[in-house]
């Protein structure tokens, strides 16, 4: 297994933990679960959009940048922009990059 694949599996595990925590916070962790993971993820994204609206974060920009990150981390495309160019825009969008 490549290093990139291992790191991406770790990212997926962290996302799974975040979704599980969200489901617990919303009372969706009982058996049987009243929602599928897809429905819970949709609710989480919707709630994140509400959070963004109240905290001044540009949700659409965050989604666009996340697509760039996903493609780069998955080695799916060669991006036209250098990462430094993306990082320069993040503070303007109220997004703090995490390393």
> Which of 16, 4, 1 has the alpha carbon at shortest distance from 76?
4
| pLDDT interval class at 44 (50, 70, 90) | very high
CB neighbourhood size of 3 (10 A) = 7
Identify whether the C-beta of residue 57 lies closer than 8 Å to the C-beta of residue 94.
yes
pTM: 0.68
More confident residue, 42 or 37: 42
| pLDDT interval class at 78 (50, 70, 90) | very low
Residue 30 structure tokens: 């009982």
């Amino acid at each position: 297994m490549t290093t990139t694949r291992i790191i991406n599996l770790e990212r997926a595990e962290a996302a799974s933990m975040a979704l599980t925590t969200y489901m617990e916070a919303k009372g969706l962790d009982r058996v049987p679960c009243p929602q599928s993971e897809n429905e819970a993820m949709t609710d989480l994204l919707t709630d994140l959009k509400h959070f963004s609206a109240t905290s001044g974060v540009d949700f659409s920009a965050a989604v666009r940048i996340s697509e760039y990150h996903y493609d780069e981390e998955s080695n799916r495309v060669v991006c036209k922009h250098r990462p430094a160019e993306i990082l320069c825009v993040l503070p303007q969008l109220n997004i703090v990059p995490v390393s």
